[in-house]
Amino acid sequence: MPIVSHTDLPSFQRLREEGEEILTPDRALKQDIREMHIGLLNMMPDAALEATERQFFRLLSACNQIVQFYVHPFTVEGIKRGPAAQAHIEAYYESFATIQRDGLDALIISGANVMGSRLEQEEFWQPLMEVFTWARANVTSTLCSCLATHAVMQHCYGIVRTPLPAKRWGVFAHRLIDRSHPLVSEINTRFDVPHSRFNEIFQADMERYGVKVLAASKEAGVHLAVSPDGFRIVFFQGHPEYDNISLLKEYKREVLRFFNDETDAYPPFPEHYFNKQVRQHFSAYAEQLTAAKATGEPLPPFPEAEILDELDNTWRDTGKAVFNNWLGKIYQLTNQDRRLPFMAGVDPNNPLGL
């Protein structure tokens, strides 16, 4: 069902140009269709701020409930912003105070970039925990992505993430661990998910605290898990929202960091993402760039356009299905007033009866 462009957020127009159905407020008001209000706490850095909006919007718009989605982006203090990103936030994002006043049916918390090893020492830690604490009491379900998963698991269960020997980066095959949970109803038992992170929370640590693991990879670890009650918190360590070019953009940033002496090593390829032809293309480019860097010549043009048709998206359908199941269950548990979750007769600690 469509997303409603209830503000002038530029991502709405970008999605229209891509062919997504985006309703104007006037058209939405003429339809006798239930509304759902989804918060997006966007903590991503400036370069990925707007792309993250669009990625999650696409997953939401693909869901097939008879409902109109109003998405409310907001952020928290403690994340350094440049002038352009700050202007975007001030123009199009809501305040947390407004979110609290109006209420939400569901909340998505994005990942974030951090510099230190201890999350609780990040400037955004306390504002993030304030949002999560409010959501836990007032929102039917909260979906955490990547670093948000690590932060919330540390806050709720005291599980501290473990640094990996090298960046977990690429597209990895996963299998369902629990095939009976409503979140994974009617999805493939094997599917791909992108990962991009330097830290991990392991399956054994999650299960020790009653967290239910739904999908995992032998190479990449846990992707999808839920809180012990089965639904109130959904955890992603992977990135089903990624576009087919998201890892390419990350690879490009790492290449530029090497050229600008911000890192000593030329970046490896994301695993299971580039095919043989793309790897050959980028191997040749690495030689050109390294030679240019050694002789003080300008950066060679990054050959992005030449390889775009070789990049596949092997995870989007499964990501859409999980989001569809998540929002479908929220739809069943909430009434028209998003500030009053419909929990009459439902155990709030076990809303799915699991």
Instruction: Point out the residues that are catalytic.
Output: 146, 239, 241
Looking up tokens 């967290």 gives 211
Gap between the Cα atoms of 3 and 303, Å rounded: 34
**Sheet of strand 162-176: strand arrangement:** 22-23, 3-4, 67-74, 34-41, 106-109, 141-145, 233-236, 221-226, 212-217, 162-176, 190-200
**The token pair that represents 63 in the structure block:** 């869901």
Gap between the Cα atoms of 137 and 94, Å rounded: 20
| Angstrom distances, CA of residue 58 to CA of 38, 240, 294 | 13, 11, 42
The burial of 309, by beta-carbon neighbours within 10 Å (0-12 exposed, 13-18 middle, 19 or more buried), is given as exposed
Q: How far is CA 127 from the centre of its chain?
A: 19
In this structure, are residues 224 and 214 in contact, taking their beta carbons and an 8 Å threshold? Answer: yes
